[in-house]
A and B are shown apart, each in its own frame.
Chain A
Amino acid sequence: MILECKDLTKTYRGYLALSNINLQIDGGHIIGLLGPNGSGKTTLLKLIAGLLSPASGSISIQGNPVGPASKNLISYLPDHFYLDHHRKVAEIIRFFDDFYEDFESERAYDMLAKLNINPNQKLKSFSKGTKEKVHLILAMSRRAKLYLLDEPIAGVDPAARDYILQTILSNYEETASILISTHLISDIENILDEVIFLQNGKIHTHALVDELRQESHKSIDDLFREVFRC
């Protein structure tokens, strides 16, 4: 098992962001983390990445508690830009190469070339969508066991989205798992094999995507709209 969360609860100054999350994820799966705004998706990813500490409960990543060992196994893509905008992409790649043992520069350069991104340009000169692509390429160029992708394709055009999904499919090892939070369900649902619906900080559904389709005769996108109708 790659990830196990037990009775995970997180509060922000009394506000209950996640309550009693119990979650098990095996290796080799791509899981969609879906839920309306404020349902706790980012909070859950940050807890697993070790950027937040839970109020109670525990998380283990391949048997390790959250800490240096677990962080070596996790490649986390936050939902905001965090890289120094004054750096060239090539400089950032060198930095990643120094910093992460499992980072493969060659793969990063390969993906940059396929998406026509010039590595000698500074990050600040790129559009929002291209910056997103660079961030995702860096996250996927690590040989991690667990990828946590928070809204990886929101600002990317539909054509590039397809390439990025292909990239995700071809760049994870068979034993690794990917947890993707997104609102673009119809774009990604075909590459998922499991889905988690979060609602008000609780797991509403955690199931195999094809089983949900078979039961409901609906796409995950339609099902989501039905479950979370305002």
Chain B
Amino acid sequence: MTWNLNSDRPIFIQIIEKIQVDIISGFYKSGDKLPSVRELAQEASVNPNTMQKALSELERTGLVYSQRTSGRFITEDTTMIDQLKSKLAKEIVTEFWDNMQKLGFQKEETISLLAKTIEIEETTTKGESNDDTGM
């Protein structure tokens, strides 16, 4: 797993975002145990204190809970995970729409361009996977 942390934003915020995405994408499933602070810190090449801070923050929001002796776990509240998923999706779409407006695109143009791009992506990735199986 790669972490790709930038140095110009607080590291603990980027760690929170990364773990959130890992939970939404199902890399960590509801009820899964998280690796220890030290293990995660080493994997991400960050200071254990920074990792600790990020996990405490995730705990505060309820996405992660800790059991005193056995470690940290992903919440079993799947509604919470779904809510987070729609929240993040909305943020990405809003940012995209803002950027499109800055480039001077109208609503209809944007939607059709988006649909076209998705179509092209789908056919090319299908083509690639066909090539793979053909090998």
Contacts and interface: CB of A to CB of B under 8 A. Distances in A.
Contact of A190 (B13, B42, B45, B53): B45
B47 A186 contact: no
Interface string A203-230: 0000001110110011111100000000
Nearest to B41: A169
B9 interface: yes
A165 interface: yes
Given A169-B41, A219-B7, A210 B12 contact: yes
A191 interface: yes
Interface string B1-33: 000011111111100000000000000000000
A170 interface: yes
Interface of A: 28-30, 162, 165-166, 169-170, 174, 186, 189-193, 209-211, 213-214, 217-222
20 contacts: A28-B48, A28-B49, A29-B49, A166-B45, A169-B41, A169-B45, A169-B47, A190-B7, A190-B45, A190-B47, A209-B11, A209-B50, A210-B11, A210-B12, A210-B13, A211-B10, A213-B8, A214-B10, A220-B7, A222-B8
Interface of B: 5-13, 38, 41-42, 45-50, 53
Given A169-B41, A210-B11, 14 more contacts: A28-B49, A169-B47, A174-B48, A186-B7, A189-B7, A190-B11, A191-B45, A191-B47, A193-B49, A210-B12, A210-B53, A214-B10, A217-B8, A222-B8
